[in-house]
Structure 1
């Protein structure tokens, strides 16, 4: 986890700029990472197909925020469950279990976390995107034990299956 510091260099990215990866069936196009923001936050545009979503998990170090751009996504945050569409915002504070599931044929949303640092989990465990499109569906389920061990290095614990 990075410690936030003063941002010294502004930046501007075009729509196709930024680090793009395929991670567990999701295109994640990072628009800002900790090294860009002095450790303050990271921001990614995510595009995914119906059914995509991570296991239920809890972050010890960061708060997350999602803004839905297109499609419908169900969010499970603590005891709250909501299926939301474009223009909706969902906040997941640290130490609260959460997950999401894409309900429409595809969905596009912004995800961010503060402070930065957790983006490195995605960058380490994903693959460089071959194109700025939804990746092919995984042919095998993820190795949950390996995923849990990698997440633990970032203070994140899997506490249930995807929804």
Structure 2
């Protein structure tokens, strides 16, 4: 008789999940890891300071969905810019060039990758934070260190999951 593996249920409450400082800026709170979902998806909360922006990039093998919980971002997708506030959603299908910038004082969003194949990139481009670290628990600023795009680029090269196309496409404000 064959054995069938069924992923375990995942329950995490507000603020629960491994906290990691992302070298591209912001604190990731990992809500569901790819191994926990049988590879179906990766879900993390991203807490970011105003002005944080991403380089123009694509995810060749996953769709990226961003649901804004608090604050506002400017999303650059397919050459067009869109302002997205709390309760708003952006979906970047695999291969579609996109970038975003936090235009409010701070922002929180859920980031969902389907499937969860980008996890190695994010893991390698981040460092663990202690459970009570500033920004990881909602108290205090989310800017915990210098942005280091060299580390982000190295993780992309080593792990795939993302293709960096160029610098952030936003005009100075």
Bin the TM-score by the shorter chain.
Answer: 0.7 to 0.9
**Contact 2:121-2:162 at 8 Å conserved across structures:** no
**Deviation readout 1:108-144 (Å, 9 max, x if unpaired):** 1111110002122111121112415013241x6532x
**Contact 2:117-2:161 at 8 Å conserved across structures:** no
| Whole-angstrom distance in 1 between the partners of 2:108 and 2:67 | 9
Could you tell me the TM-score, scaled by structure 1's length? 0.87
Distance 1:116 1:155, change over 3 A: closer
List gaps (5 residues or longer) in structure 2: 136-141
Could you tell me the TM-score, scaled by structure 2's length? 0.82
List gaps (5 residues or longer) in structure 1: 1-5
| Whole-angstrom distance in 1 between the partners of 2:21 and 2:41 | 20
**Contact 1:22-1:129 at 8 Å conserved across structures:** yes
Matches within 5 A, 1:38-77: 38-77=38-77
**Contact 1:30-1:44 at 8 Å conserved across structures:** yes
Partner SS for 2:149: coil
Question: Which residue in 2 is equivalent to 1:91?
Answer: 91
Distance 1:141 1:41, change over 3 A: closer
